């Protein structure tokens, strides 16, 4: 009887470990997508854009596999509170990761269809914003793998840098639009505004993951982010990324 119980417990632990492993693999692929995206923004490489598009279904598959595994665990295992916390949190994190993957794909597609090449200074500003997102993403993945509460809190705190950088680039592009620009230039700037807003929203989803890590470690729900005002542009971004 003891051996049977030990087998059941070991099997349950393995299933939870598998969910965590799937989330980690998914997060690693998302990180790779943003590395590819940096190259797309920097060079406009069509081949790299194709790489991003080819990876997108893999992220969807991870999300579906995690969802199925979580449903199976809850349905068949009736986990206790502590285990249920890990399981449900993994599901919520996979949802944020799936959205992050969508964002990378959509930005790459917008960059691929720019009507004109943007000014070098604007491109460099966007690359700087993208780099901040990459740093945050790597840190939150490390925090998830190691269940490091300190790193998770750093991610939440550092999101303000993404917001500041986004606001500065937004104002710069709007000022350029206020000048006399051609229709093609205006279309280019509009796509860039959507791209940088999407990056800012990516930062928010990375924050979400950090808050879920806080919940895993402490068992406490906490919203440590400053409330952000909705806007027509933000609403349009969310609609376009669905």
pLDDT tens-digit profile, the chain (242 residues): 445 344 345 676 788 889 999 999 999 999 999 999 999 999 999 999 999 999 999 999 999 999 999 998 888 777 666 677 888 899 999 999 999 999 999 999 999 999 999 999 999 999 999 999 999 999 999 999 999 999 999 999 999 999 999 999 999 999 999 988 899 999 999 999 999 999 999 999 999 999 999 998 888 876 655 444 444 455 555 555 55
The confidence score (pLDDT) of residue 24 equals 95
Cβ burial, residue 17 (10 Å; 0-12/13-18/19+): exposed
Three-state secondary-structure class, residue 180: coil
CATH superfamily of the domain spanning 2-240: Phosphate transport system protein phou homolog 2; domain 2 (1.20.58.220)
- Exposure pattern of 196-229 as b/e (b: 16+ CB <10 Å)? bbbbbbbbbbbbbbbbbbbbbeeeeeeeeeeeee
Dihedral over Cα of 214, 238, 62, 48: its sign: negative
């Amino acid at each position: 009887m003891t051996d049977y119980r030990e087998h059941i417990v070991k099997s349950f632990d393995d299933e939870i470990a598998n969910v965590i492993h799937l989330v980690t693999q998914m997060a690693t692929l998302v990180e790779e997508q943003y590395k590819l995206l940096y190259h797309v923004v920097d060079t406009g490489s069509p081949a790299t854009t194709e790489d991003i598009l080819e990876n997108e279904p893999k992220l969807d598959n991870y999300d579906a596999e995690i969802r199925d595994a979580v449903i199976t665990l809850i349905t068949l295992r009736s986990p206790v509170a502590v285990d249920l916390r890990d399981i449900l949190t993994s599901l919520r994190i996979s949802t944020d990761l799936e959205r992050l993957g969508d964002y990378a794909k959509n930005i790459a597609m917008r960059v691929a269809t720019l009507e004109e090449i943007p000014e070098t200074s604007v491109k460099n500003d966007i690359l700087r914003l993208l780099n901040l997102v990459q740093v945050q993403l790597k840190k939150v993945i490390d925090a998830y793998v190691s269940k490091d509460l300190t790193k998770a809190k750093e991610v939440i705190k550092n999101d303000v840098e993404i917001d500041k950088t986004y606001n500065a680039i937004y104002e710069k592009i709007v000022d350029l639009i206020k000048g006399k620009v051609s229709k093609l230039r205006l279309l280019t700037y509009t796509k860039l505004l959507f791209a940088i807003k999407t990056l800012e929203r990516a930062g928010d989803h990375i924050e979400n993951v950090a808050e879920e890590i806080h919940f895993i470690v402490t068992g406490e729900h906490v919203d440590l982010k400053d409330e952000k005002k909705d806007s027509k542009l933000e609403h349009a971004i969310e609609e376009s990324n669905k």
